[in-house]
């Protein structure tokens, strides 16, 4: 049997010897004695601990026993603690009534008999223990009551849920006994069968469905009978239950008319799909036949190779004709018969064999015929699947003859350009040379030497001829360049004062808009010449008050230099020939300035674009960036 826990007993007296006497009398294993020497200390103990009884001296300095008892009884938590006042017998009459008035439960008069005190304390301890037991039983009853309430609530909720399921379910739920007599049926029977539930109570379940030979726990398809005599398909499931000693069956009936209609429609769709597959198969055969005809009659060399082992699966007739190989010796071969390689400066292909790269379009390649002749072609590839095997379709458009024709045309165009340039140079240089020759003839006939004015004029004409020759030499594509990592904005800033001074002379203005651009590999002198040529051309094209805009910007493709003027624009007939030497709209121009710009741009791997109209002309010089330039 478990030992009862110790109970706390509070002894309050201002005299230590009295506390020792009380402790000696009450010392027992089941008691825990707590001492306090003042009313204040006693109140602190009551606030922190629970006591079975309090032995309280009446006469104490400071807060006396009555005041202490009154405060203890005023507190809700401690008002139930019994208090035994200890007082001198000669003061009993005047204190007893007062003590009971403030909440005393008993009195002990000094000097007291030990047994009497011990018995009084034991009786109050017993009352305390009984009260604690009563509290525990009360708590247990409260817990049991809450559990009962929760169980009752859950039972009601379960019954309500079952009722709601039965009433809201679209399935008809029938209960019947061993004799097959219907005990109950839910409201779904009205819509499904046409019966009211009360009409079926006591009727055989066979009124609705045939439940013979139906195993419990399994869902089976059956036929149900409506009140109007019509039949309809149902899914039926039967379960068993025991209700208050009565063995009952629960039958769930679901109308599957709609599902049957869907299944019939699906069967019809499957039939139509089969017909469609047959039709598509025929279309596929026709498509394959068309592909075969196109494959064989194409004017390009076409080969189909396996991506698994690189063997040739098929080649068309033109492939056989242009390469010199026979179809039999090609089919099944796995070696690279044509030795395809990128040709010229082809940038569409990476390293490796061109024909195995995916989705190549018109890449220039060279290839060899069986006789060893090297030819040029445009390569296109595409991955295809042939009979479940991944393949590469390789198409080569032979351009050898076309390239020879283009080379010949380019040679003739160069000869024609040389002729035009020669005529232009002769015309441009003949003028200053004629002027100098005339002055020299005059000087030869004159007895006096030519004046400084005439000499300066002859030197100026010779300088002009030299400038024309210098600009012409600048057009050379094989001219060496001294490129260094330079910022384009720095070059623009360096020559801006020259451009601004030229603009101010003609009452014009220049506006800079320089963006944050990376440094590029540039020949500073050549780029200065390009900027000056384009800027001065723009200033000369504008009337007074015009604005020239110079802008730099970083785009995805690279760094762009943009120069926009507000001139009248470039005539269409000149725009078609722009950049050609000696083509100009200026009366005193040579037409070499823009030609030099295009030549410098080509040497820097840049491109020049132009857009013109009535509101002005814009030139864009677009510099591509290398990997090092992008990280600079």
Confidence at 392, pLDDT banded by 50, 70, 90 = confident
- Which pLDDT score is estimated for 348? 46
CATH topology of domain 484-630: Heat Shock Protein 90 (3.30.565)
pLDDT tens sequence across 573-625: 777 777 666 666 665 555 667 877 888 888 888 999 999 988 899 999 999 87
How many angstroms separate the CA atoms of 379 and 77, rounded?
Answer: 100
- Which pLDDT score is estimated for 349? 47
C-alpha angle 192-194-197 in degrees, rounded to nearest 5 = 95
Average pLDDT over residues 73-93: 78
Q: What is the pTM of this model?
A: 0.34
How many angstroms separate the CA atoms of 233 and 221, rounded?
Answer: 7
Sign of the dihedral through C-alpha 265, 270, 272, 273: positive
- Which pLDDT score is estimated for 589? 56
How many angstroms separate the CA atoms of 216 and 219, rounded?
Answer: 8
Domain 302-398, architecture per CATH: 2-Layer Sandwich (3.30)
b/e string for 476-510 if b means 16 or more Cβ within 10 A? eeeeeeeeeeebbbebbeebbeebbebbeeeebeb
Q: Which token pair is 47?
A: 């606030």
Confidence at 226, pLDDT banded by 50, 70, 90 = very high
Residue 379: pLDDT over 90: no
pLDDT tens sequence across 503-530: 888 899 999 999 999 999 998 888 888 8
- Which pLDDT score is estimated for 389? 86
How many angstroms separate the CA atoms of 7 and 130, rounded?
Answer: 12
User: What distances in angstroms separate CA 336 from CA 309, 341, 392, 398, one per listed residue?
Assistant: 12, 11, 14, 18
How many angstroms separate the CA atoms of 512 and 71, rounded?
Answer: 93
27 vs 456: which has the higher pLDDT:
27
Residue 60: pLDDT over 60: yes
98 vs 311: which has the higher pLDDT:
311
Q: Which token pair is 256?
A: 């599957």
- Which pLDDT score is estimated for 128? 86
Cα 10 off chain centre by: 73
357 vs 20: which has the higher pLDDT:
20
157 vs 310: which has the higher pLDDT:
310
Q: Where does CATH 3.30.450.20 sit in the chain?
A: 169-255, 302-398
Q: Where does CATH 1.10.287.130 sit in the chain?
A: 404-474
Sign of the dihedral through C-alpha 12, 15, 17, 18: negative
May I ask the CATH class of domain 404-474? mainly alpha
- Which pLDDT score is estimated for 557? 82
Q: How many CB atoms lie within 10 A of CB 232?
A: 14
How many angstroms separate the CA atoms of 375 and 387, rounded?
Answer: 33
How many angstroms separate the CA atoms of 520 and 518, rounded?
Answer: 7
Domain 7-138 has CATH 3.40.50.2300: yes
Residue 347: pLDDT over 50: no
Q: Is 454 helix (H, G, I), strand (E, B) or coil?
A: helix
Q: Which of 149-153, 325-329, 338-342 has the lowest average pLDDT?
A: 149-153
- Contact between 25 and 118 (Cβ < 8 Å): yes
- What is the residue-averaged pLDDT of the chain? 81
354 vs 253: which has the higher pLDDT:
253
Rank 97-106, 362-371, 407-416 by mean pLDDT and report only the highest. Answer: 362-371
Confidence at 1, pLDDT banded by 50, 70, 90 = very low
Residue 414: pLDDT over 80: no
C-alpha angle 506-510-514 in degrees, rounded to nearest 5 = 165
- Which pLDDT score is estimated for 618? 94
Q: Which residues pair with 184 in a beta bridge?
A: 175
Residue 184: pLDDT over 60: yes
- Which pLDDT score is estimated for 5? 80
CATH topology of domain 169-255: Beta-Lactamase (3.30.450)
Q: Where does CATH 3.30.565.10 sit in the chain?
A: 484-630
Average pLDDT over residues 465-478: 59
Q: How many CB atoms lie within 10 A of CB 24?
A: 9
463 vs 224: which has the higher pLDDT:
224
C-alpha angle 173-177-179 in degrees, rounded to nearest 5 = 125
- Which pLDDT score is estimated for 91? 58
């Amino acid at each position: 049997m478990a030992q009862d826990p110790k109970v706390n007993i509070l002894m309050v007296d201002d005299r230590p010897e009295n506390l020792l006497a009380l402790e000696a009398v009450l010392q027992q294993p089941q008691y825990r004695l707590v001492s306090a020497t003042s009313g204040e200390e006693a109140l602190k103990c009551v606030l922190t601990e629970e006591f079975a009884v309090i032995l309280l001296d009446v006469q104490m300095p400071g807060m006396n026993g009555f005041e202490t008892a009154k405060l203890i009884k005023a507190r809700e938590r401690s008002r139930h603690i019994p208090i035994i006042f200890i007082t001198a017998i000669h003061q009993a009459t005047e204190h007893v009534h007062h003590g009971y008035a403030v909440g005393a439960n008993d009195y002990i008069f000094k000097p007291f008999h030990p047994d009497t005190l011990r018995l009084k304390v034991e009786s109050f301890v017993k009352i305390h223990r009984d009260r604690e037991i009563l509290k525990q039983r009360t708590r247990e009853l409260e817990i049991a009551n809450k559990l009962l309430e929760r169980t009752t609530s859950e039972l009601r909720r379960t019954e309500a849920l079952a009722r709601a399921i039965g009433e809201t379910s679209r399935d008809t739920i029938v209960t019947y006994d061993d004799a097959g007599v219907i005990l109950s049926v839910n409201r779904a029977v009205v819509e499904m069968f046409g019966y009211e539930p009360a009409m079926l109570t006591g009727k055989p379940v066979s009124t609705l469905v045939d439940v013979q030979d139906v195993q419990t726990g399994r869902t089976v398809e059956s036929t149900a009978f409506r009140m109007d005599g019509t039949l309809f398909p149902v899914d039926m499931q039967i379960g068993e239950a025991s209700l208050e000693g009565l063995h009952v069956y629960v039958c769930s009936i679901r109308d599957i008319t709609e599902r049957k209609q869907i299944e019939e429609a699906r069967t019809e769709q499957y039939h139509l799909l089969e017909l469609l597959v047959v039709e598509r198969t025929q279309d596929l055969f026709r498509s394959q036949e068309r592909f075969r005809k196109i494959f064989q009659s194409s004017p390009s060399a076409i080969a189909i190779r396996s991506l698994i082992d690189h063997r040739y699966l098929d080649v068309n007739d033109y492939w056989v004709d242009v390469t010199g190989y026979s179809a039999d010796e090609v089919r099944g071969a796995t070696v690279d018969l044509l030795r395809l390689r990128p040709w010229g400066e082809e940038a569409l292909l990476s390293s490796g064999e061109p024909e195995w790269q995916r989705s190549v379009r018109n890449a220039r390649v060279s290839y060899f015929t069986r006789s060893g002749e090297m030819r040029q072609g445009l390569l296109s590839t595409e991955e295809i699947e042939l009979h479940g095997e991944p393949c590469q379709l390789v198409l080569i458009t032979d351009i050898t003859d076309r390239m020879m024709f283009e080379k010949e045309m380019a040679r003739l165009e160069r000869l024609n350009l040389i002729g035009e340039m020669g005529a232009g140079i002769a015309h441009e240089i003949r003028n200053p040379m004629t002027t100098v020759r005339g002055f020299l003839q005059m000087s030869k006939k004159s007895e006096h030497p030519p004046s400084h004015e005439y000499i300066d004029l002859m030197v100026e004409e010779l300088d002009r001829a030299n400038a024309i020759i210098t600009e012409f030499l600048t057009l050379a594509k094989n001219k060496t360049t001294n490129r260094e990592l330079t910022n384009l904005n720095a070059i623009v800033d360096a020559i801006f004062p020259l451009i601004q001074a030229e603009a101010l002379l003609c009452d014009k203005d220049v506006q800079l808009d320089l963006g944050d651009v990376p440094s590029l590999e540039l020949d500073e002198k050549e780029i200065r010449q390009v900027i000056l040529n384009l800027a001065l051309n723009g200033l000369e094209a504008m009337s007074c008050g015009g604005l020239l805009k110079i802008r730099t910007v970083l785009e995805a493709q690279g760094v762009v230099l943009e120069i926009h003027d507000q001139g009248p624009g470039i005539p269409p007939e000149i725009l078609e020939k722009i950049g050609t030497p000696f083509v100009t709209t200026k009366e005193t121009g040579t037409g070499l300035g823009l030609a030099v710009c295009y030549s410098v741009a080509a040497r820097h791997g840049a491109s020049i674009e132009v857009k013109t109209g009535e509101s002005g002309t814009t030139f864009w010089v677009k510099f591509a960036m290398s990997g090092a330039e992008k990280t600079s």
